[in-house]
Chains A and B, each alone.
Chain A
Amino acid sequence: MGRFHRHDDGTVHEHEHEHEHDDKHGDHSAYETGPERIMVLERIFDENDRAAENNRSQLDAHAVVGVNLMSSPGAGKTALLERTLAHFDGRRRVGVVEGDIETSIDADRLAGYGAQISLLNTGDGFGGECHLDAPMVAKALVDLDLAALDLLLVENVGNLVCPAEFEVGTHVSAMVYAITEGEEKPLKYPVMFRSVDVVLVNKMDLLPHLDFDMALFEANLARVNPKAKVIRVSARTGEGVDAWFAWLEAQSACT
């Protein structure tokens, strides 16, 4: 329990009391001043979320559908993006925000499919940021001609923890999950799995070589996100990717 007062600059402070409140309790003017306390009550993601909202407004102004694509490293996001860009080349105008810690290797792989690509190297932090945040994506949007786009795919940094915490300002979120990652990851990373609208279960061509139990994976996923749509694909062979393209088309139709 403390005592609040407002300063001229608008901040509100609370001073700790050094006595109990159950006794009679007269004039407060003589209370003992302990360390000064500033009440803040600010959500740590507020600033990011405001930037995300601003990104989404920019996309809306140009009728662009934004998709945040997340996964662990090596699950096949870039391979899937290659197929996606090849499919939509000439049909839909696609832009890509490519988040990568240090290199342009992924952006180079995606060149040549007629898409606008904006590379975001996130290597400025301590050893590289492990996710994209909304202010970073805002910078990437500056490099894109949004008026000439229908669809924006944001390839997040490969990581199952941080990207789930930082909204980037897309309309929907998708996740690429490789069956080589095992069945239990939805339970270990519930924040990530809860944050997505669709899970692309990738590397299905490897199924005969693995002990992967698809029913168990889907049951685990349903425990943390019963609403997530599951699409089984192989980015390598192209198996199942038409359902992913159809899902993307459906998102465009919704907005």
Chain B
Amino acid sequence: MHELSLCNAIREVVGRAAAGRPVDTVHLRVGKFRQVVPETLCYCWELVTATSPLAGSTLAIDHVDISLRCAACTAETTPQGPLALVCTTCGSGDVSILTGEEFLVTSLELKES
């Protein structure tokens, strides 16, 4: 399962950054190109943290839309529908991805002690 692997990677980053401090919320920035199902990611987070100091913490996901720059007509567009990597202005497939590939832990909110 894709989300399970991702949660394991997230746990590594969060564990290092928290350094033993109690975490309440993990803020993520996730591009839509990452094919992450938010509900599944949150469920997997419960699984991978269940027996760890991060148990009870939750994920807050900030989604980033896909935006493309067209090499043919230089337009910057956001494709409708997740699949087409095609410029919506001129139809060219020669596009570079500007946003939508993000996958980072942005911040942690700690539990109030």
Contacts and interface: CB of A to CB of B under 8 A. Distances in A.
A40 B108 contact: yes
Interface stretch (A71-79, A111-119, A158-166): A158-166
Interface string B12-35: 111001110100100010000111
Contacts of A224: 83, 85
A219 B94 CA distance: 13
A191 interface: yes
A223 B109 contact: no
B5 interface: yes
Contacts of B108: 37-38, 40
Nearest to A2: B107
A162 B94 contact: no
A223 to B, nearest CB: 5
Contact of B104 (A42, A125, A130, A133): A42
A44 B103 contact: yes
Nearest to B85: A224
B47 A126 contact: yes
Contacts of A61: none
B110 interface: yes
Nearest to B82: A190
A218 B66 CA distance: 23
Interface residues of A, number: 36
A226 to B, nearest CB: 5
A205 B24 CA distance: 56
Contacts of B12: 47
Contact of A165 (B1, B2, B85, B107): B2
Nearest to A34: B112
A138 interface: no
A51 to B, nearest CB: 12
B10 to A, nearest CB: 6
Contact of A35 (B5, B17, B105, B111): B111
Nearest to B47: A126
A190 to B, nearest CB: 6
A43 B106 contact: no
B73 interface: no
Contact of A40 (B4, B17, B83): B17
Contacts of A38: 17-18, 21, 107-108, 110
Contacts of B84: 187, 223
Contacts of A125: 4-5, 8
A190 B8 CA distance: 23
B86 interface: yes
Interface of A: 9, 11, 14, 35-48, 125-126, 129-131, 133, 161-162, 165-166, 187-188, 190-191, 194, 222-224, 226
17 contacts: A11-B17, A35-B112, A38-B17, A38-B107, A40-B17, A42-B17, A44-B103, A125-B5, A125-B8, A126-B47, A129-B5, A131-B5, A133-B5, A165-B2, A187-B83, A190-B33, A194-B85
Given A48-B9, A165-B2, 5 more contacts: A11-B19, A37-B109, A39-B107, A43-B104, A165-B34
